[in-house]
Amino acid sequence: MTKLFQSAITESGPIECLGQAFPNDAARREHFSKLLAEKLKDLEFRKIDGFPIGSDEDILTLSDPPYFTACPNPFIENFVEHYGTPYDPSFPYNKEPFAADVSEGKNDPIYNAHSYHTKVPHKAIMRYILHYTKPGDIVFDGFCGTGMAGVAAQLCGDRTTVEEMGYRVDDSGNVLTPNPDVAGSAWKEFSVLGARRCIANDLSPFAGFIASRYNDFSSEDYDMSSPLDEILDVSPNVRSLYTTHGPKGNADAAIEYVVWSEVFSCPGCQHETSLYEFAIAPGSSELRETFTCPSCGKELEKSDLGSVWTSVIDIDGRGFLKERKTIPVEIVATISNKIARFAPTEFDLQLIRSADALPLVDVPNAAFPHGRQTRKIKSGSGIEKIHQMFTRRSLQMISPAWKSAQEAASTRKGRVALFLLSGALTLISKRERYRDGSGKGSQSGTLYVPSLQVEKNPFDVIDRKRRSFARLPLSTSSAMCSVTVGSHTDVRIVPDNSVDYIFTDPPFGESLQYSELNFFHEAWLSVRTKMESDCVLNYVHSKGIPFYQSTMKRSFAEAYRILKPGRWITVEFSNTQASLWNVIQVALQEAGFVVANVSALDKKQGSFNSVTTTTSVKQDLVISAYKPNGGLEERFAKMMGSEDSVWDFVRTHLRYLPSVRLKAGRLDFIAERDPRIIFDRMIAWFVRHNAPVPLSTQEFQQGLRGHFVERDGMVFLTDQVLEYDKKRAQVAQAPQMELFVLDERSAIDWLTDLLKKRPSTYQELSPEFMAQLGAGWKKHESRPELSSLLEDNFIQYDGTGEVPSQIHSYLSTNHKDLRGLSKDNPFLVAKATDRWYVPDPNKAQDLEKKREKALLKEFETYQAATGRRLKEFRLEVLRAGFKAAWAAKDYKAIISIAQKVPEEALQEDEKLLLWYDQALTRTEAGD
């Protein structure tokens, strides 16, 4: 990698920061720390959502202002003023939605250097930043975690990294991408090489700290010749606690690690011994599923064993803590160049006892908060306090080193040491598992303390981490990335319309409890996450989907406010629950964004496909949405939500969509150009602007045809269709939309697509239709009869009168013997009889009216139903009912029906969720 930025470990010499000159870096920090200290006294400032928990002093110690503050960063305004460009509506900006693999680069050493519960690799984010921005632009990530978006923004200026990713950089600094589409032209322009800036926000001070360090990184800082030892080696005597004399007492070596085992009792004879002795056969390292008691010979499994508890004196000496009894069972050391594993000798045990007897200083005396993850370690291992996650011996090393790094945190070397220690903390805790003869790391996403633990030599761990940091091909500068800590729901420190692009990876829901997990580090950092604002599902904290939804909605409202009009937001989401995905989509649209593409990673092909429905299968999903430029909003207000504003919306929206998309040389169907999806987007836009939708589905479909051009089931603007036609002429096959039949609506869509291509009889349709009604069918949705779907939505030719042109053209193109026959030819009539077909627009409108009437009638029966809950229902009935109630401003009707249907049915349906949430909002607003 090219060295982009100079390390400042020496910190001498004049520097410039946000336009101000300072004699040296210490003066810079002192100046901004004073300003921050003033700000911390401001009560209003401390009221910002998600303001972390910590004293002024601790916040100031952890911060490195103006680049990073362990609280909302009051200097971001200056950052934007100094480096940003004001929004200019006349600036030509025209980008299409973009989706690339979000997991690319997971083996990268930069990604792996400092672990976190989940990360998007910087190389994956770089593709997005390169696509949407130019050098110097400002990128924002409000759920930044370890700040990979900042690293990505900076490395867009690093030629080596950009080239490693398969791009080429020409002499003028243009980034070129392979162009397989045009014969003879191997590369096409994609972007411009050059670093971008970033504003990175996270609720967690620990995340903010990691982000600040990743974005101010120089490998030289970790070089073995750098002055870190002064900070880290504060307790040289402690090294001797990690020595051994070997199994025979004749060696003098450093311990690599010690295996500790929980003690259990045999339910048969009450014999107490370690799990290690119970379940690992002598001479082997394998943990057996079944084993016999060494005392009475009873056949046992781990779950049969009884726990053995012990009491330890608390570090403040004020009381006792009850915890599971553990004992050292194996020492591992390199003796005479060979790995030796042996049972602890009296020397080893004596060393542990002497470490236990030493006083503990500067260890945080912090009790784990009540929570979902913390509850497990409390009941499972009896661990109440943070220090119980470490052996007393490792605390002898980590506490003084941490303290001295904290004391030196106003200097670069202090911050560097703290980063190193925080990267090593889990590795030297009891969370490290032992399995099959070696350490297996900690169980990610939990605070789990295993029955067989590995106590690593902390000096080795830190040395190794330091060497790996020293080898990292990473060079970043704090001046490029402003890091701030607080809730995304309130980023008032970022000015309106100031950000050029947003990439974000929101919390997943319930699998990761960030604030509980981060407490492990934050107890040491002395500044903690405001747990109430952690955007997760957590039954212990009574946080359900409504909490998640409202936090997302408020966060996206802030994202909308700070993004420049006409610019894009990319939301990456590792989906495990379709309902959360819908919550995110709805929240985006309620904030004012317009969704322009939803893609899912096809793990087998490694490529992204546009999707219209999400499943509950774990998928990486990417939403691309834009903030429409001011013109659309103003025109909408003027036209008062009339029919003209429908076409204005569609015209503006189509402009944001790609005209042609190729995949492996073939034309890809652009789902967002499908009239049905455009209709949904239009509805969301109207609902968000509190305006009734002035057109029915059929009127909309008909109007679309009048205002725009349709090709292969997709809608285009006239100038866009030229580009599409050109490409279409070169390929034999029209692109196909892949439809999944999951409910009545998608069943109708599927039938429409099929009957458009091939008018068919009931007998022909029936087996194909049955095959579509597979496992994905929505849980509470009644299964419709094919016959009633056909009756309600299509027309059957009964053999009287002329053969309808839809059937005529199908038969004459596909059957040689029917070619050229007139519409009343008896042979043709016989072949056409009983076939179902898609009605022409006028007839379709009549059918729609009839169907809507029937749906609303059924909705009335739902309203009248006396039981508290509707178990099975038709989503189409709910949609029609909600739509009508919305138009009549009868929000109560929506809310009362919503309360009768299972929550997940609403949450899994984007349209219902939108109407319901807006009905709640309107009711709260007293409308």
Ligand X SMILES: C[S@@+](CC[C@H](N)C(=O)[O-])C[C@H]1O[C@@H](n2cnc3c(N)ncnc32)[C@H](O)[C@@H]1O
CA dist 195 and 129 (Å) reads: 10
Q: Please identify, using beta-carbon distances, which residue of 116 and 679 lies nearer to ligand X.
A: 116
**From CA 288, how far away is CA 385, in angstroms rounded?**
32
| Distance in Å, CB of 43 to ligand X, minimum | 21
Q: Which is nearer to ligand X, 120 or 363 (CB)?
A: 120
Closer to ligand X at the Cβ: 522 or 781? 522
CB-nearer residue toward ligand X: 72 or 507: 507
Paired tokens of 914? 């939108």
**CA–CA separation, 652 vs 151, rounded Å?**
34
The residue among 128 and 685 lying less far from ligand X, judged by its C-beta, is 128
Q: What distance in Å separates the CA atoms of residue 18 and residue 35, rounded to the nearest whole number?
A: 14
Cβ 583 to ligand X shortest distance, Å: 14
In sequence order, the 6+-apart residues with CB closer than 8 A to the CB of 612 are 598, 671, 674, 677, 739
**Minimum Å distance from CB 212 to ligand X?**
13
Please identify, using beta-carbon distances, which residue of 216 and 505 lies nearer to ligand X. Answer: 505
Backbone angle region of 50, left / alpha / beta, with phi > 0 → left and psi within -120 to 50 → alpha: left
Distances (CA, A) of 124 to 20, 159, 495, 571, 656: 35, 16, 27, 13, 23
CA torsion angle for 366, 370, 375, 381 (degrees, to 10)? 20
Supply the minimum distance, in Å, between the C-beta of residue 204 and ligand X: 4
Shortest CB 489 distance to ligand X, Å: 6
Cα–Cα distance, 572 to 705 (Å, whole number): 34
Of 514 and 519, which has the nearer Cβ to ligand X? 514
Nearer to ligand X, 120 or 315 (CB): 120
Burial (0-12, 13-18, 19+ Cβ within 10 Å), 288: middle
Kindly provide the b/e burial profile for residues 301-321, where b requires at least 16 CB atoms within 10 angstroms of the residue's own CB.
Answer: eeebbeeeeeeeebbeeeeeb
User: Is the CB of 528 or the CB of 673 nearer to ligand X?
Assistant: 528
> Whole-number minimum distance, CB 203 to ligand X, in Å?
4
Helices 841-864/786-793 angle, 10° precision: 120
Question: Three-state secondary structure along 645-671?
Answer: HHHHHHHHHHHCCCCCCEECCEECCCH
**Least CB distance from residue 778 to ligand X, whole Å?**
28
Residues near ligand X, by CB under 6 A: 50, 116, 118-120, 142-146, 148, 202-204, 207, 487-489, 505, 507, 514, 533-535, 551
In the complex with ligand X, the residue whose CB is nearer, 304 or 490, is 490
Closer of 408 and 480 to ligand X (Cβ)? 480
Tell the smallest beta-carbon distance from residue 551 to ligand X (Å).
5
Q: If residue 909 lies in a helix (H) or strand (E), which one and from where to where?
A: none
Tokens of 924: 């709260």
* Residue with tokens 């409308």, as numbered in its chain: 927
Output the smallest distance, CB 60 to ligand X, in A.
22
Position with the least CB separation from ligand X: 145
Rounded CA-CA distance 807/300 in Å is: 73
Q: How far is the CB of 589 from ligand X (least distance, A)?
A: 20
Closest CA to 681 of 658, 709, 707, 653: 653
> Helix 514-525 to helix 412-424 angle, to the nearest 10 degrees?
130
Degrees, nearest 5: CA angle 745-751-753:
105
Measured distance CA(666)–CA(556) in Å, rounded:
35
> From CA 404, how far away is CA 384, in angstroms rounded?
26
User: Which lies closer to ligand X via its Cβ, residue 457 or residue 515?
Assistant: 515
Q: How far apart are the first and last CA of the chain?
A: 59
- Helix and strand numbers (H, E) in the chain are 35, 32
Which stretch of DSSP H or E encloses residue 299? strand 299-301
Q: Would you give the DSSP letter of residue 411?
A: S
The least CB distance from residue 521 to ligand X, in Å, is 12
Query: Shortest gap between Cβ of 490 and ligand X (angstroms)?
Result: 9
CB of 610 to ligand X, least distance (A): 23
| DSSP at 615 | -
Minimum Å gap between C-beta 158 and ligand X is 18
Pairing of strands 290-292, 197-202: unpaired
Residues 345, 326: Cα–Cα separation, whole Å: 17
The number of beta carbons lying within 10 Å of the beta carbon of residue 567 is 20
Q: Which is nearer to ligand X, 204 or 429 (CB)?
A: 204
For 855-887, b/e burial (b = at least 16 CB within 10 A) is beebbeebeeeeeeebeebbbbbbbbbbbbbbe
| Shortest spacing between CB 611 and ligand X, in angstroms | 21
Look up residue 485 and give its two tokens.
């800590």
Query: Which of 102/646 has CB closer to ligand X?
Result: 102
Q: How far is the CB of 280 from ligand X (least distance, A)?
A: 37
How distant, in Å, are the alpha carbons of 103, 188, 663 from that of 606?
10, 22, 12
The residues, ordered by sequence, that sit 6+ positions from 177 with a Cβ below 8 Å of its Cβ are: 166, 167, 187, 188, 189, 190
Euclidean distance between CA atoms 623 and 906, whole angstroms: 20
Nearer to ligand X, 204 or 426 (CB): 204
Least distance CB 28 / ligand X (angstroms) = 27
Min dist. Cβ of residue 508 to ligand X (A): 6
Structure token digits, residue 294: 């060494």
In the complex with ligand X, which residue's Cβ is closer, 277 or 620? 620
For ligand X, which is the closer residue by CB, 534 or 590?
534
Query: For residues 210 and 452, which CB has a smaller minimum distance to ligand X in the complex?
Result: 210
